[in-house]
Each structure stands twice: as structure tokens, then as C-alpha cells.
Chain A
Amino acid sequence: METEVKKSGLKITFIVLIGIVLAFVIYYSIMSMLSPVRKLDEIKNEFVGNASEKNESEQQILKDSTYLKLLKEKAFLQSRLVMAETDSIYLSINLADSSINIEISGVVVHKARINSINISKILSGSDYSVLSMLSTPFTISRSIATIKKEPVMLKMAPKDTSEYKPDIMPDTSIAEPVNYILEVNHGIRIYVYQEEKTKFVDRMNQFKFDIKDRLTNTWSSLKSIAVLKVPEYHPFIRIKLPRTDAKIIYRAIPKNGQIAVFT
């Protein structure tokens, strides 16, 4: 009799626990779904102000696809021109024609083909505020990568000629997996993955890199949700490039380099 009471007690606890977990998951999902809406509102407030101030005919024009396409093009060109005025190395990502360029002072010094694109709905949509946001270049604030930005090697100077050893030929055949994230203004993240997944190491590396990023994001979302705050949403652009191009771009772009995006 006692064991049966114990068993049913356990059962109830178990069911309650599952219920709590499910309720939390639902709450987490709802809060997560709200985060992009809040992000869009933030962008709208920053770039357009109150949308209701625009009259109806203006709003109708802003919905026209031809007009919006041209606006996007203008925003991209404006962004590139701003960057061209600097002497720095910068990136221009044109998702419409699947190309990514390294540019210096307006001169395209390297071109690469994007083979796969996955973009956040916020960025792919044609909201006027997003277009305004795209007309100024983004600045990289943080980057996470599987390769070093500058693979500097330390060499201690020999005390005399007897200690001197000539440099050995560097091994350029090493093909390390290249995956990285560039975080820019407004929490936008640009994910660059190498296209080649021929080796098991490449697949594992990409999986580990991806899962690490997901865990970090989930952890920060959980922290926000724990204090009843809507978690931060990071609009994203995920692209796949040939490994060589991905590496060239990561090594070329300065730590706080600029990026123009055409969606």
C-alpha cells in the first residue's frame, strides 16, 4: 500500500516536472519568437522614426517592388562609396548576384562566388527601415573563427652563429577548416562557412563550430528569459564559400573592418 502511494507520488512528481519543462519550453519559444519583432521595432525607431508619419501614397510607393529594388541598390552603392573614402580594406557582399568582394579604396582586389545563402527574414524583407540601415556600412565588432587572423610565430634570436638555424620551408599544404562569424552593428551576424566538406574532419569541425555558437546563443537567451526579458535577436547572413576564398577574406579584413551588404 505504502509503495503504491510512493509510486503514485513519484508519478505525479514526474508528470509535474514534465509539465514544468514543457511550459518553460513554450515560454522560451514565445519569447524567442518575440525577439525578432522587437529587433525590427528597434531598427524602425532608429532609422525611420514613426512610420505613421508617412502619408498613404508614400507608404504605397514604399511597397512597390521596382522602387524597393532600386532603393536597395542605392543603399548598397552609398555604403560602398562611404567605405571607398577610407584607405582600409573592406568587404562588399552582394547576395543578389551571389558575390563577395574585397575592396580597397573603391578598387575590387578580390572576387569570390557565394555558393549558398541563408538570410534572416528581417534582412531579406524590404522594410524601408532595414534599407536605411543597409545604406551605411556595418563595422565588425567581434569575430569568432576556426583559424587565426594573423598566424604569427615566435622565434627567439640566436645568441651567436652556432645557435643559428635557417628557417625551414613553411608547410602551405595544411588545409585547416575555415569557418567564422563576423558580428557587426545591430547584432547582425555574418556566418561564413567553407563550402568543402570532403573530409570527416571538415564536417566535424563545422558541426562543433555550429553547436558551440548555438549553445552560446541559447545560454544568453536563457539568461535574458530568466529575468523576464525578451532575448536579443541576431539577424543573420549565412554564406558558404570555397575554403581558399573564405580564408583570404578572413585574413584580409581588419579586426574592425567595414562591410556593405546588398540583400
Chain B
Amino acid sequence: MENEEIIKGSTQAEPEPDLNPVNVEASKTDSESGQAVNTGSKSFLRGVAIFLGTILFILAIIIFILYITPALNEILPGRKTEIVKNSEVKNSADFKKRLSLLNKDIQRFTLKSNGYTSGQSYIVVNTTENRFFLYTNKKLIREGFCSTGSLMMLKTEKGKVWVFKTPRGKRQIQGKIANPSWKRPDWSFIEEGLPVPPKDDPSRWESGVLGDYALGIGDGYLIHGTIYKRFLGMPVTHGCVRLNDEDLKVIFNTLNIGSKVYIF
């Protein structure tokens, strides 16, 4: 209690009356300037409060518009599935007939949909992950790493352009060769800064670089082996699909001409 009074006294600190006119004048000025300081700090605090309040208000509006309004959008639309309790409808001949027709349609569509997946062998190549998946009788029999197109765009000074990209979509095996030789295309010389020889020049032929087997998938693209095995699992080729020797052998023996190749 005593302490409280002391604190009260010290905080209120009312000046004792002074009878000297000079001192009265001085104390008047002091109290006025004190009041001015007080009013100044009050108005400053008020200003800060208004400023902060405005910012908070603007923020609240922004959050409301960006986050709350989109959520409000979801209040009105849609209709919940109603379960028909009316046994009259459930037991009606029309309802039963419609349900049976619907079931038949679904069965028919499911059969058709399942029929697309061949029971024969096919290969799936994932160019993003550089992986392959070999299927026979709708079962995965082998999977592993491969190398696909590097997505490099080779440009010459004359403006000729090649993009080394593995073609995507459905293709099929168009040819199978053991011990293939590679006929180097123009870009393979240009890429190394070599002069391009005539079309049938013997210097275009190289053996051993494609591995033991090659399977053509059309437009000059092949599934073949590689001498750069450390690059398997990476996008480094000029568009062909490279595999290691063991995988290539299995694939060569499993896939036939006409087998599907799905590249994505």
C-alpha cells in the first residue's frame, strides 16, 4: 500500500505552487512544453497506430481476396448425391432396366479397354527417368536403365539444326540385326568438327559401337548397345535407345518384328 502511494506520487509529480512571479512564469512554460511533448508523443503514437491499422486492414483485404474468396466459391455449387429412399423408384422396372444396361455397358467398355494391352511382348521406355520395362503376357519380365535422347540442339553456323530427341508415342520393331554396323550420319561429323564425307563414303561405316544387336523402331531410330555403359540412366544419346549388353540380348530375343514399343 505504501509502495503504491510512493509510485503514484512519483508518477503524477504535481509541481508545488510557487509564489515567485518569475518562477510561476517559468513553471508555466515548463508545463506547457511538457504538455506539448506529451501531445506530440501521443499524436506520434496515434499516427503509428493508424499506419499499422491501415497496413493490417490492407493485408486483411488482400488475404480475404486471395484466400477466403476462392474458398467462398465452393459454398454454393454442386449437388450432393442423394440416396433414393423411395423403394418405389428402386424397385421400378425402369430403374432396374437402366441399371442393368449401365452394368452391361461398363462390362463391354472394360473388356475393350483391357484388350488394348497386348498379351504379346512389348517394351516401355521412360525417357525422363531413362528406364525401360519389358513385358510378356502382360507381366513385367525385366526392367533396367537405358540412355535416351540428350535434348541437345546442334546448330551449325549456316543455320542447320538437329535436335537429339527420342521420339515419343507408339512405335513398333521394324527390323532386327545382330552385329550391326553404324553408318555415321552428317551430324556425327559436324558435332566433332570433322568434314562431312560423301553419302556412301566408306569412312561413314563404324562397327562395334552399336553393341551386339540393334532393333529398328523406324525413322532411323534404333534400340542398340553401347560402349558408354557409365552413361546408362542418363539422357546422352542422339535419339536412339541405348542398353547394356545383357538387357539388349534379352530384349532382342523377346521382341519380334511388329512388337510394340511405347516411349514416353
Contact present for A247 and B109 (CB under 8 Å): no
Min C-beta distance of A90 to chain B, whole Å: 10
| Residue pair B78, A63 in contact (C-beta under 8 Å) | no
Tell me if A164 counts as interface (CB < 8 A to partner B): yes
The residue on B at minimum CB distance from A158 is B193
A40 CB within 8 Å of chain B: yes
For window 206-222 of A, CB contacts with B under 8 Å fall at: 211, 214-215, 217-218
Known: A40-B77, A70-B99, A106-B116. A89 touches B155 (CB 8 A): no
A162 to chain B, nearest CB (A): 7
Residue in contact with A64 in the complex, picked from B89, B103, B152, CB distance below 8 Å: B89
Given A74-B105, A150-B165, A251-B128, A67 and B66 contact (CB-CB distance below 8 Å): no
- How far, in whole Å, are A87 and B66 apart by their CA atoms in the complex? 41
Is the C-beta of B136 less than 8 angstroms from some C-beta in chain A? no
Chain A residues near B234 (CB-CB < 8 A): 169-170, 172
- Judge whether A154 and B153 touch: CB under 8 Å: yes
The answer, among A88, A120, A125, A150, for a CB contact under 8 Å with B169, is A88
Contact of A125 with B109 in the complex, beta carbons under 8 Å: no
Q: Does B73 contact A (CB under 8 A)?
A: yes
A37 at the binding interface (Cβ < 8 Å): yes
> Is there an interface contact between B98 and A67, defined as CB atoms closer than 8 Å?
yes
State whether B66 touches A215 (Cβ < 8 A): yes
B239 within 8 A of A: no
- CB contacts (< 8 Å) of B260 on chain A: these are 107
Main secondary structure of the interface of A (DSSP, over half): helix
B81 and A126 contacting across the interface, CB-CB below 8 Å: yes
| CB–CB A157/B190 < 8 A | yes
Q: Check if A65 sits within 8 Å of B193, measured CB to CB.
A: no
A89 touches B169 (CB 8 A): yes
Asked if A5 is an interface residue, CB under 8 A from chain B, the answer is no
A 105-139 contacts with B by CB, 8 A: 105-110, 120-122, 124-127
Q: Which residue of A lies closest to B64 (CB)?
A: A25
| Segment among A76-84, A180-188, A195-203 that sits at the interface with chain B | A76-84
Q: How large is the interface on A (under 10, 10 to 19, 20 to 34, 35 or more residues)?
A: 35 or more
Residue in contact with B69 in the complex, picked from A32, A70, A125, CB distance below 8 Å: A32
Q: In the complex, what distance in Å separates the CA atom of A125 from the CA atom of B67?
A: 22
Asked if residues B73 and A35 are in contact (CB atoms below 8 Å), the reply is: yes
Nearest chain-A residue to B156 (Cβ)?
Answer: A157
Q: Are B106 and A153 in contact (CB under 8 A)?
A: no
B264 at interface, CB cutoff 8 A:
yes
CB neighbours of B57 from chain A (8 A): 18, 21
Whether the Cβ atoms of A104 and B262 lie closer than 8 Å is yes
Which residues in chain B, 55-99, are within 8 Å of chain A measured between CB atoms? 57, 61, 64-70, 72-84, 86, 89-90, 92, 94-95, 98-99
Whether A67 contacts B102 by the Cβ 8 Å rule is yes
A63 contacts B233, C-beta separation under 8 Å: no
Partner of B127, one of A18, A40, A211, A251: A251
- Separation in Å of the B144 CB from the closest CB of chain A? 16
Contact indicator A233/B73 (Cβ below 8 Å): yes
Question: If A70-B103, A127-B78 touch, does A109 touch B124 (CB 8 Å cutoff)?
Answer: yes
Contact across chains for B155 and A124 when beta carbons are under 8 A apart: no
Q: Name the CB-closest residue of B to A122.
A: B77
Pairwise interchain contact A248-B163, C-beta atoms closer than 8 A:
no
**Judging by beta carbons under 8 Å apart, are B113 and A84 in contact?**
yes
For the complex, is B231 an interface residue (Cβ under 8 Å from A)? yes
Q: B34: shortest Cβ distance to chain A, in Å?
A: 20
Q: How far is the CA of A67 from the CA of B202 in the complex (A)?
A: 70
For B191, list chain A residues within 8 Å (CB): 157-158, 164
Beyond A102-B264, A252-B168, is A33–B109 a contact (Cβ under 8 Å)? no
Residues of A within 8 A of B83 (CB): 64-65
Measured CB to CB, the closest approach of chain B to A54, in angstroms, equals 12
List the B residue with the shortest CB-CB distance to A89. B264
B65 in contact with A28 (CB, 8 Å) = yes
Task: Pull 26 A–B residue pairs with CB atoms less than 8 Å apart, ordered by A.
Answer: A25-B64, A32-B70, A33-B73, A36-B76, A39-B77, A57-B94, A60-B84, A64-B82, A64-B95, A70-B103, A87-B170, A89-B168, A89-B169, A104-B262, A107-B122, A107-B262, A109-B124, A153-B150, A155-B153, A155-B155, A157-B157, A158-B191, A161-B192, A164-B191, A215-B66, A251-B128
Seen from chain B, the residues whose Cβ lies within 8 Å of a Cβ on chain A are 57, 61, 64-70, 72-84, 86, 89-90, 92, 94-95, 98-99, 102-103, 105-106, 109-110, 112-113, 115-118, 122, 124, 126-129, 150-157, 163, 165, 168-170, 190-194, 230-231, 233-236, 260, 262, 264
A-B residue pairs, 9 tightest by C-beta: A106-B116, A125-B78, A158-B193, A121-B78, A77-B109, A36-B77, A252-B264, A164-B193, A63-B82
Q: A25-B64, A214-B66 are in contact. List 6 more A-B contacts (CB 8 A).
A: A40-B77, A77-B110, A109-B262, A152-B152, A155-B155, A217-B70
